[in-house]
């Protein structure tokens, strides 16, 4: 018997991808997707009758966003969660303003206070972003260094072994 009708289905009219497809498309593992869900970074997707998860296009985009923030910018999942939540709040308010631009002064004030709140809670995150700018220069320097090293390696490799194979990685 059918078990669950999600109490609030944001939009699962579009939920058509099984976990394996999402994993493949986003380049993360199924474990990771379940883990993100467990930690609240992804909202629980809808399910098929048998319990299989069904993801939407939006979910896919969200995963990609998480991955970018994590891998390229080095944020922790906790930070990412905060950022995404804050971003959602801002979007909500933006929507609200669009739909009710002439709300009462108190409502407007409340919206504003909310914005200030999420903004302040992102303070450390902002610092991290600034630090990244500094890091970028260093990164480029490093890359140049390794580029030179690679050239050295290439020269050695070229002169030497015609048959270079067979080494399995790792200890």
Partner DNA sequence: GAGACCCTTACGTAGCGTAAGTGTGC
Partner DNA sequence: TGCACACTTACGCTACGTAAGGGTCT
Binding site for a copy of itself (CB under 8 A): 1, 68, 71-74, 112, 115-116, 119-124, 126, 129-130, 132-133, 135-136, 138-140, 142-143, 146-147, 150, 153, 156-157, 160-161, 164-165, 167-171
Residues, the chain, total? Answer: 171
Q: Taking the CB of residue 104, how many other CB atoms lie within 10 A of it?
A: 9
Helix (H, G, I), strand (E, B) or coil at 54: strand
Question: Looking only at residues 58 through 77 of this chain, which bind DNA when binding is defined by CB under 7 A?
Answer: 70, 76-77
Q: Which is nearer to a copy of itself, 7 or 171 (CB)?
A: 171
Find the binder of DNA among 31, 94, 109, 126 (CB under 7 A). Answer: 31
Choose the one of DNA, a copy of itself, none that binds residue 124, judging by a C-beta under 5 to 8 angstroms depending on kind.
a copy of itself
Find the shortest distance in angstroms from Cβ 165 to DNA.
23
CB of 130 to DNA, least distance (A): 20
Nearer Cβ to DNA (51/101): 51
Give every CB contact of residue 6 below 8 A, 6+ residues apart in sequence. Answer: 12, 44, 46
29 forms part of the interface with DNA (CB under 7 A): yes
Q: How far is the CB of 128 from DNA (least distance, A)?
A: 13
Query: Of the listed pieces 5-13, 45-53, 95-103, 112-120, which binds DNA according to CB under 7 A?
Result: 45-53
Alpha helices (H) in 4-76, listed in sequence order = 19-26, 30-38, 57-67
* Closer by beta carbon to DNA, 10 or else 18: 18
DSSP 102: T
Phi/psi of residue 40, each to 5°?
85, 10
Instruction: Work out how close the CB of 55 gets to DNA at its nearest, in angstroms, rounded to a whole number.
Output: 9
- Cα-based torsion angle of the residue sequence 105, 106, 111, 114 in order, rounded to the nearest 10 degrees: 140
What tokens does 105 get?
């002064």
> How far is it, in rounded angstroms, from Cα 47 to Cα 55?
9
């Amino acid at each position: 018997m059918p078990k669950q009708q999600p109490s609030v289905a944001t939009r699962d009219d579009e939920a058509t991808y099984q976990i394996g497809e999402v994993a493949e498309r986003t380049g993360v593992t199924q474990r990771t997707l379940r883990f993100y869900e467990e930690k609240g970074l992804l909202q629980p997707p809808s399910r098929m009758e048998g319990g299989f998860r069904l993801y939407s296009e939006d979910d896919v985009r969200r995963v990609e966003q998480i991955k970018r923030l994590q891998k390229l910018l080095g944020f922790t999942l906790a930070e990412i969660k905060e950022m995404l939540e804050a971003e959602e709040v801002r979007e909500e308010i933006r929507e609200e303003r669009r739909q009710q631009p002439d709300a009462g002064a108190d409502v407007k004030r409340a919206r504003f206070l909310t914005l200030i709140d999420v903004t302040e809670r992102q303070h450390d995150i902002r610092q991290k972003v600034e630090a990244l700018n500094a890091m970028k220069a260093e990164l480029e320097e490093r890359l140049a260094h390794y580029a030179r090293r690679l050239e050295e390696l290439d020269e050695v490799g070229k002169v030497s072994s015609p048959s270079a194979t067979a080494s399995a990685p790792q200890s």
